[in-house]
Structures are given as C-alpha cells and as structure tokens.
C-alpha cells in the first residue's frame, strides 16, 4: 500500500479518525513523497530530505492516532516516544539516540517474526519427519548408539511400533496428520539459558549495556537442558519453532530491518512542547534546551550506533506533536524549527465531532461495547438521542474542566454502562435500550455537582 495516492490515504485515515482534514492532508503528502523519492534517480534520491511535521493541538484530538494509522498503511517501522523522557547529555536520563535504537530493535523483531512465518511450513515438515524417525523403532545397534531409543533431539520412544517400512511410515504419517497420535507422550529435552539479570545505573547512552552483557555472557555460560514429558502435538510445535529459528538468516533479517528503518522509519515525538523553554532560563530550562540541541543532529541526519550496526537517520520521518498551551512552536531553538517545516493545527472537538466519533469509525466506542456485551448474549441498542446527549455532556465537561478531547468519551461510557457491565452475566432482559433518559438518569447527579464531576468524569 506504499503507492497509495494522497486522496486514498485520507480515505483510509477517515475510517478511524473523524475530522482533522488539514492534518490528514499533510501526512498523506509526506507519505506520498516517500514513494516519489524512491522513484527518483539515485543521484538525486539521497538529496531529498523528508519534510518533518509538527502537529499542534490539545490532547485527545487525534494526533497520535493519525501517526499510528499512517505507519500501519505502509507497514512502516513506527516508534512513539514522549520527548519529556529525554535529558541533556550530562544529566541522568534517557539519551535521544535511544529512540533510534528502540526503533531498530522493534523492526528487527518484526522482520524476524515475518521470516519465521514464511518458513513455518518447511519447519513443520522437518519437525514431522523428526517425530516419525523417533516413533519408528531402530535396529539394536542404532538403539545402542542413540542411547536406548533416545535420539539426538532428545525425544524418547514411549510406545513401540511395528518394524519400519515405507507403508508403515506413511500410515504413521497419516495418523500423525489426522491427530491420532496427539495424546501420545514423548520425552523432550528443552534447552534452557540461564543468564543473570544485570541492572545498569549509568550515564547517558548506556541503555544497551545490559543487553550487550547478556550477548557476551551467552557464549560463556553453558547451555542446560530440562527433560519434559510432552504430548506429540506439543513436541512437534517445539521442534518446529526451533527449526524455524535455525532456518532464518539473522544477517539477512538485520540487513532488511536496518534498510526499512533508514528508508521508511517513522518516529513520533509526543509532547515536544514540554522540552520548549519560553525565553531565557536556568535550572531545568537549560536541560530542556539541551535536549533540543541533542535532538537536532538526529532529526537533521546522523549515524547512530546500535547493537545491530550503524543506522543513518537522514530519511527517517519525524512527526512531532504538542499542545503548545504555554508556549508556541517559535519558542523551539531556530535550528530545530527549520527541521520541522510543516506545521498543522488540529481543531478542538465539539458535540458534532463527538457524535460522529461514537458511531462512525471502524473501532467506534459504541460498536466496541455492543460487541463486548453480545458475548454475554445481550443486545445493546443506542438511540440517536442518547448519542447526542453523551456528546453534549462530553463537550460540557471538557469546557468546565480540563479539555482532554475524545478521551472524555471513554470516561463517560464506562460510567454510563458500569451497572450493565457488572450485572451482564445475570441479567434476565437480554435487550437493553440506551436512550436520552437513561443517560440523564446515570449522569445528571454527577453533572450537577461541579466538584464531583471534576473527579469522576
């Protein structure tokens, strides 16, 4: 789906996110530009830098959801991190380079999982053959060499079978595939790797020290095995998993993962306004500006060392977001401002948007609760006036207290359906209709008391 047109990207985002058309257009163009860059001649391709984006808007309006859905459209490596977690070099805390290392590790694991899935059938066939070898009896000399019927893989025959022949083997294979041998037990030696847990408390850039120690010590500590008595069905799964790991070329996996990160990676920097200092300052303010300066080379394009090798960040797309209540994007250091050329302001959400959010998206809240209660045999029905009432209450509570956007709907729905969700298994009436009166009965008393609504809603 990497060659979707911008208009098609917006249509896909519309399935999950209500409104925010300007933000959707901007990220759709940024995604399409990645595809365009790959079609350009090699000489010019490396010169085309991604146009990083700052999404400006209060919490709960869809900033994170836009970035997350965008990465899913193209299966791009995606990592979300709060900028407030980072500290300047010299302070105790996370190094800004750690977000690139985390992105690489996530991508390596994802590619490895995909590769294992691709060889799953081959590994299954190998495991099946090994089980057949073990279930069929050996000659006396072979038994002596193998340790009285125990093969190298550690599976011991529990019940003997007639002497092996091609027809016997095929009959046994059919029995195995038809599940007739699933309940038979075999002894299986499972490898265990006892590595001591290491806690590293150190300065910046040392997050991976514990992992590297494990890698070094892994070769020094001898592997131990634990014999377990398992059923044939489980033994096949264990052997197939081991075979799948052997069949996967980790050098190829790492190479693919690094290529994907460098060319298609997306890093979502949330709460970037929290590292923005307004005017000159001292103390924590200095650290905030220091984080921005540490962040600058990563966004600009540099080489980051990871345990899988070096990674270039020149073409990673950075999407930053922040509410910018007490500061503005121009309060960022000028160098960093220049690396985020696209700025999009997201709209605050009101009653109309809340009504649509409740029912329209594929993962709409109302649909989620209907599906969950259907598992209890209960048919939950929401009337249109109930949807309008919930949306109106959400808007009122957001205006009177902290504006948390669409997240307010989650709180309201849980409060509204609390009794139904608790009593659902014992309810005699299997059809429940939620109308405006029901909503008013459940929430009116809380809404009347402003102090109470601040704590509960």
pLDDT in tens, 366-409: 999 999 999 999 999 999 999 999 999 999 888 888 888 888 89
Mean pLDDT of the chain: 81
Higher pLDDT, 100 or 150: 100
C-alpha to C-alpha distance for 251 and 64, rounded to whole angstroms: 33
pLDDT tier, 89 (very low <50, low <70, confident <90, very high otherwise): low
pLDDT the model gives residue 2:
58
User: Mind listing the pLDDT tens digit for each residue in 234-269?
Assistant: 888 888 888 888 888 999 999 999 999 999 899 999
Higher pLDDT, 448 or 154: 448
Which CATH class for the 351-456 domain? Answer: mainly alpha
> Please, which pLDDT band fits residue 154 given cuts at 50, 70 and 90?
very low
Considering only the C-alpha atoms of the chain, give the largest distance between any 2 of them, rounded to a whole number of Å.
88
Residue that wins the pLDDT comparison between 191 and 303: 303
Q: Measured between alpha carbons, how far is 115 from 257 in angstroms, rounded to an integer?
A: 11
pTM of the model: 0.77
* pLDDT over 50 at 147, yes or no: no
Ranges of CATH 1.10.8.60 domains, the chain: 351-456
Residues of each domain in the chain carrying CATH 3.40.50.300: 6-111+259-345
Eight-state DSSP code of residue 156: B
CA 396, CA 387: separation in Å to the nearest integer?
A: 14
User: Given this model, what pLDDT does residue 141 score?
Assistant: 41
- Count CB neighbours of 385 within 10 A: 14
Q: What is the pLDDT of residue 144?
A: 42
CATH code of the region 6-111+259-345: 3.40.50.300
State the pLDDT at residue 155.
Answer: 40
Rounded distance between C-alpha atoms, residue 350 and residue 370, angstroms: 24
Per-residue exposure over 138-169, b if at least 16 CB sit within 10 Å of its own CB, e if not:
beeeeeeeeeebbbebbbbbeeeeeebeeeeb
Q: At CA 187, angle to CA 183 and CA 192, rounded to 5?
A: 120
pLDDT at 282 over 80: no
Beta bridge partners of 270: 82
Token pair for residue 14? 């519309």
Contact 63, 346 (CB under 8 A): yes
- Residue spans of alpha helices (H) in 265-305: 284-300
- Tens of pLDDT, residue by residue over 13-40, are 999 999 899 999 998 998 888 889 889 9
Judge whether residue 166 has pLDDT over 50.
Answer: yes
Beta strands in 19-169 (DSSP E): 53-56, 78-82
What is the pLDDT at residue 202? 45
What is the reported pLDDT for 400?
84
Q: Give the phi and the psi of residue 191 in degrees, each rounded to 5.
A: -70, 135
pLDDT recorded at residue 235: 82
Decide if 78 contacts 100 (C-beta within 8 A): no
- Res. 182 pLDDT band, cuts 50 70 90: confident
97: helix, strand or coil: coil
279: left (phi over 0), alpha (psi -120 to 50) or beta: left
The string of pLDDT tens digits covering residues 168-177 is 778 888 887 7
Rounded Cα distance, 405 and 353, in Å? 10
Q: State the Cα–Cα distance between residues 371 and 276, nearest whole angstrom.
A: 43
């Amino acid at each position: 789906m990497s060659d979707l047109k911008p208009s098609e990207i917006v249509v896909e985002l519309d399935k999950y996110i209500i409104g925010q058309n300007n933000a959707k257009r901007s990220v759709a163009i940024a995604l399409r530009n990645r595809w365009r860059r790959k079609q350009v001649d090699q000489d010019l391709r490396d010169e085309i830098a991604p146009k990083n984006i700052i999404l400006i808007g209060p919490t709960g309006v869809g900033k994170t959801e836009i970035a997350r859905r965008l990465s899913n459209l193209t299966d791009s490596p995606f990592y979300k991190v709060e900028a407030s977690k980072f500290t300047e070099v010299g302070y105790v805390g996370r190094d800004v380079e750690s977000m690139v290392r985390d992105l690489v590790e996530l991508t390596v694991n994802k590619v490895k999982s995909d590769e294992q899935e691709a060889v799953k059938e081959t590994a299954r066939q190998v495991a099946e053959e090994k089980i057949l070898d073990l279930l069929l009896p050996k000659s006396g000399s072979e038994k002596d060499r193998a340790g009285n019927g125990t093969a190298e893989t550690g599976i011991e025959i529990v019940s003997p079978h007639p002497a092996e022949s091609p027809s016997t083997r095929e009959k046994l294979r059919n029995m195995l595939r038809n599940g007739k041998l699933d309940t038979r037990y075999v002894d299986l030696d499972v490898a265990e790797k006892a590595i001591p847990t290491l806690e590293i408390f150190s300065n910046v850039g040392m997050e991976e020290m514990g992992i590297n120690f494990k890698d070094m010590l892994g070769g020094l500590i001898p592997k131990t095995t634990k014999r377990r008595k398992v059923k044939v069905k489980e033994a096949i799964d264990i052997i197939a998993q081991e075979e799948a790991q052997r069949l996967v070329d980790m050098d190829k996996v790492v190479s693919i993962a690094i290529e994907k990160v460098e060319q298609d990676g997306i890093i979502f920097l949330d709460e970037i306004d929290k590292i923005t200092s307004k005017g000159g300052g001292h103390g924590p303010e200095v650290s905030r500006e220091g984080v921005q300066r540490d962040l600058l080379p990563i966004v600009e394009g540099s080489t980051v060392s990871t345990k899988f090798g070096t990674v270039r960040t020149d073409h990673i797309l950075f999407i930053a977001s922040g509410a910018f209540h007490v500061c503005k994007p121009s309060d960022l250091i000028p160098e960093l401002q220049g690396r985020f050329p696209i700025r999009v302001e997201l709209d605050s959400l009101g009653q109309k948007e809340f009504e649509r959010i409740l029912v329209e998206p594929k993962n709409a809240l109302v649909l989620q609760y209907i599906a969950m209660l259907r598992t209890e045999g209960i048919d939950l029905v929401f009337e249109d006036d109930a949807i309008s009432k919930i949306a109106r209450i959400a808007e009122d509570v957001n205006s009177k207290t902290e504006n948390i956007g669409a997240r307010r709907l989650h709180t309201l729905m849980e409060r509204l359906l609390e009794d139904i969700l608790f009593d659902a298994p014992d309810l005699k009436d299997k059809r429940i209709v939620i109308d405006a009166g029901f909503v008013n009965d459940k929430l009116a008393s809380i809404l009347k008391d402003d102090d109470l609504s601040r704590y509960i809603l």
